[in-house]
Amino acid sequence: MPITKSAKKAYVSSERKRQRNKVQEVELEKSLKKVSASNVNEVISKIDKAAKTHLISKNKAGRMKSRLTKKFGTPKKSSKVERKTVTKPVSSKGKRQASEKSAQR
């Protein structure tokens, strides 16, 4: 058991982190067992989050995602989002100034 005050604080915070990691690990395992073609996106998202928090390594996450996409195909976007392209009006200011200068000469 920790003796100093700082060691006690470190122990408390490490226990909190351990519990949080355990919950995330169990969720990841459950989702990996119940993976299907319809929920591949959610499972890949959980894998990415686990790698982000260093629960699993980046290479392991990459291997898992690769195997999932190989088995179920590439993940489809769940909702269609239409993106509008914004076109900016082209200013003829530069051309006009050049033509005015040549007219003045």
**CATH code for the domain of 63:** 1.20.58
The answer as to whether 25 is a domain residue is yes
The answer as to whether 87 is a domain residue is no
Range of the domain at 14: 1-75
pLDDT of residue 103: 66
Number of helices (H), then strands (E), belonging to the chain: the values are: 4, 0
The answer as to whether 81 is a domain residue is no
What is the pLDDT tens value at each position of the chain, 105 positions in all?
889 999 999 999 999 999 999 999 999 999 999 999 889 999 999 999 999 999 999 999 999 999 999 998 876 666 655 667 777 776 666 666 666 666 666
The answer as to whether 28 is a domain residue is yes
pLDDT of residue 100: 63
The answer as to whether 99 is a domain residue is no
C-beta contacts of 3-9 below 8 A and 24+ residues apart: none
Helix (H) or strand (E) holding 67: helix 58-72
The answer as to whether 85 is a domain residue is no
Domain count of the fold of the chain:
1
The answer as to whether 93 is a domain residue is no
Provide the 3-class DSSP secondary structure of residue 54: coil
Query: What interhelical angle do 58-72 and 40-52 show, nearest 10?
Result: 170
pLDDT of residue 96: 61
pLDDT of residue 1: 85
The answer as to whether 59 is a domain residue is yes
Report d(CA 7, CA 89) in Å as an integer.
63
pLDDT of residue 92: 63
- What is the pTM for the complete model shown? 0.64
